[in-house]
Structures are given as C-alpha cells and as structure tokens.
Structure 1
Amino acid sequence: MNHLLSNHYREILIGVGEDPEREGLLDTPKRAAKAMQYLCHGYQSSLEEVVNGALFASDNDEMVMVKDVELYSLCEHHLLPFIGKAHVAYIPTGKVLGLSKIARIVDMYARRLQIQENLTRQIADAIQQVTSAAGVAVVIEAQHMCMMMRGVEKQNSLMSTSVMLGAFRESSNTRQEFLQLIGRSK
C-alpha cells in the first residue's frame, strides 16, 4: 500500500473541511489510496503482457468485431470517472487476436488517467500494432461524471469518439458496415 498516496488523501480530507480522525474516516485515506491504485492499474501493464502471445493463424479476412466492451476510466482533468462501452473491429491479415485480449487491451488503457479521445486512439493503435490488420475501427461511447456531477451538470449527455484506421478509413462501405453492426448508423 502506498503510504505517500494515503497521506495525500488524509490532507485532502482536511482540505475539504473534514476531520480525518472522525470514526467513519479513520481508514478512508488507506482505502482511497488502494482504490486509486486499482483504478489506475493500467500503468503496471504492457501491451506484450496483455496479449501474451494470443495471436493465432487464420485465413479469415473478414471483419472481426467485439461490441459493448464495458470500460471504466478516470478523467485526467478532474479525476472523476467516465463510464461507457467500446466497440472494436479489425480486418485480419493472417492472424487473429484471442477474443478476451481485446477487452484486456481496452481495460489496460482505460485504467489510466485519460481523456476519451486519447483512449480511443490508444486502443486502435494497439490493435493495429498487435495484429497488423488491414484496418481497425474503435468507437467509444461514455458518460463523464465531470460533466454530470459538476460544471454544466448534464446528466444525460453521452460522448462518442471514433478512430478509423486502414480499410475503415479508406472505404466508406467498410466503415458503414462497422457502424451498422454496432447500431450507430442511420
């Protein structure tokens, strides 16, 4: 457990006007430090560790898609959560990635301090790097607590970001097929 982090949370309690010696708050700095370490555990992972060699030869050259991958991240501007779903697709060129690895890649980058735009790009670039795919598409839809709980307080707002690489960027038909499969195209 990180004592430095725990001490900082104790100071935050004092800074907001609380008494860290109050019964309900005695262990809060330690719990908050442990929670923050968990929420940011993506920093302790590398792409190589996450993929762990789970690339398999395949003749498939059609779109592979994982839809509705839950993600939980922290806004790097306010340290407040954003929660959503990632839709990830790629077009293989001789190798396919183990199914669970896509979700693990999403988690690895989501469990870092983020902005959604960068998270979307990081996931797409990682899938491209690992698979050498003919194309990669990532769409993330998320609700941001920094917008819902503070500031403009818009509870029903949803942010969407997308990154299209290779065939998804070059071919409107391929992009359209992906968007229709995730149900986001009109």
Structure 2
Amino acid sequence: MRAAIRASMSLRKEPLSLEELQISGTSPPEQADETDAPQEKSARQYEEVADEDIEDIELKVAARDARDEAPLTPGTSTPTADFEGLSWPSVGTLDRLRERSHPEDAEARLQKLSGAVRTILECIGEDPDREGLHGTPERYAKAMMFFTKGYEENLRDIVNNAVFHEDHDELVIVKDIDVYSLCEHHLVPFTGKMHIGYIPSRRVIGLSKLARIAEMFSRRLQVQERLTKQVALALSEVLKPQGVAVVMESSHLCMVMRGVQKSGATTTTSCMLGAMRKRAKTREEFLSLLRR
C-alpha cells in the first residue's frame, strides 16, 4: 500500500504510452501462440488470493516499465511523520517552509507566482491591466498558496497530543467530511466527501483530527487514489489500530468542465487496512453504516 503512494510520487516519471502498457513477461505479438485462449493472455494482476493472505502481498502486478523502479521522492520511504516533521513532502516543500522565517523570500515567491499568472492571462488573450483583472495575478497567487497550504503542515502538529488511551474496540466512523483538492493533472478542483472509520486498539484520536488529517493531504496537488491511501496510512501510523477504512466520493472538474464533460459522473475510491481488509464482515459493517 505504501509502495503504491511512493511510486505515484516518484521524481520525473513520464506517463506510459499505450504501446508501453504491456505486462512484462508476456510474449511479443509475433511470438505468441495463436491457439492461446484470451483468458490465458490476461494480466497477472488478476491472480486470486485468499483474504487471509492479502496483508502479505506487497505487489502482485509485474513491473510494466523500468521507470516504475525510478528513485523515490525524498521522504516517501520513511514513516508518515518523518524527521523533518513533514508527511510525504514534495520537492521544494522545505524551501517554502523556511520562508516562514524569511518574509522577503516569501514575498519574492509570491511575486514570481503573480508574474506567472499575468503571463497566463496574456497567453489566453486577455489584458491583465484592464479594470476587471487589475490585481487578479496577486489575488490568484495568494489563493493558490492557500489551496496548497497542506505542504506546510505535518502530521505531528495536526495530531498535537490528541491521542488518548481508551478501552474501546468497536468501529469509530466520521462521515461526510468535505474535501477540496486540486487535480495534479490539470490544476482544477475536485471536491467531495470523505468517510473515515477505524477499530481502535486501546488508542483513540480526537474526532476533529480526522477531518484535519483529510484537510492536510487534500490541500496539495493530488489524485484521489493517492489522497485516499495517504489518509488511511497516516491514521494507521498514528494509532496502530486493528483496522482503518477510508472511502471518498468526489466530482472532478477535469471531467465536468472539459474532456468528456459528464457533469453527473462521480468517482469513488477506498482504502482498507488491517482488520477492515482481512475480515469481510467487518468491512461490510463499515460500508453498511455509510449507507444509512
């Protein structure tokens, strides 16, 4: 699970082309046996495994490209709360943090971002100096810094001694947490609801902290799949619970405003860890409570 997040945040990796999406180890078309049934040529990731063995499986899909083994982004291979006090930091995050104590550097960053926004306005055919757009580059620069403020936050400060010892071993669920994030592919918003549940193992966390953890990871450039996993892994790291479950439902403006323009389309992702992954009855209890 953690490897999936690390792989999605690795440095300077290009998307795979259609021709490259061939599972390694499969025969080239000219060498393939024409008598093979279609089922025999299917991808290896569909190999069946028993529920009790799921936790022992780290990666069932064969590497499809050498870039899958590219160097990891600094910080992603360490525990969630790493020594810098960050949680899966991106390149450049530390520089942004240091600017808190150097206002002149922070102002220089804001001016640089404002200049980039002004260039965008000019490139789309607008006049940045007309009345309606006067000050827009500076306003958008400040807004973008707010939209991505999660880069300046860390799990250690979010939790802030709000973990308590409690003799409770039944499901704890917080539903309908509003989530606002930016798609890293188009830099347009995706918004929705996140539902978080866990089974304590003598540790519980302040309920508001669940929403704050979701907020921290969502206020970064994201994809919904990674966001869902990061929240689940962070909670698992902090509480060491019996199990964690995170489900997110959202609408992506990159699908609504552009591309296929399907305004009614929603995307649902989930991440189950520990008992929530191993025990079908526990998982079903969580999902049934969400449907109420």
Return the TM-score normalized by structure 2: 0.62
- Name the amino acid aligned to 2:193: K
Larger RCO (alpha carbons 8 Å, 6+ apart) = 1
| Unaligned ranges ≥5, structure 1 | none
Give 1:22's match in structure 2, choosing from 105, 118, 130. 130
Paired position in structure 2 for 1:114: 222
Tell me the SS of whatever aligns to 1:122. helix
CA distance in 2, matches of 1:66, 1:181: 11
Tell me the SS of whatever aligns to 1:182. helix
Paired position in structure 2 for 1:88: 196
Instruction: Tell me how far 1:112 sits from its aligned partner.
Output: 0.3
Give 2:187's match in structure 1, choosing from 54, 71, 79. 79
- Name the amino acid aligned to 2:280: S
- 2:279 is the alignment partner of 1:171: yes
CA distance in 2, matches of 1:170, 1:140: 20
Q: Which runs of 4+ in 1 moved over 6 A?
A: none
- 2:208 is the alignment partner of 1:100: yes
- 2:218 is the alignment partner of 1:131: no
- 2:173 is the alignment partner of 1:65: yes
- 2:243 is the alignment partner of 1:142: no
Tell me the SS of whatever aligns to 1:20. coil
| Bigger Rg, structure 1 or 2 | 2
Could you report, residue by residue, the CA deviation over 1:156-186 in whole angstroms, capped at 9, with x for unpaired residues? 00000000000000000000000001118xx
Count of residue pairs the alignment pairs up: 184
- 2:148 is the alignment partner of 1:40: yes
Return the TM-score normalized by structure 1: 0.98
CA distance in 2, matches of 1:95, 1:165: 16
Which one is further off, 75-84 or 1-10?
1-10
- Name the amino acid aligned to 1:117: E
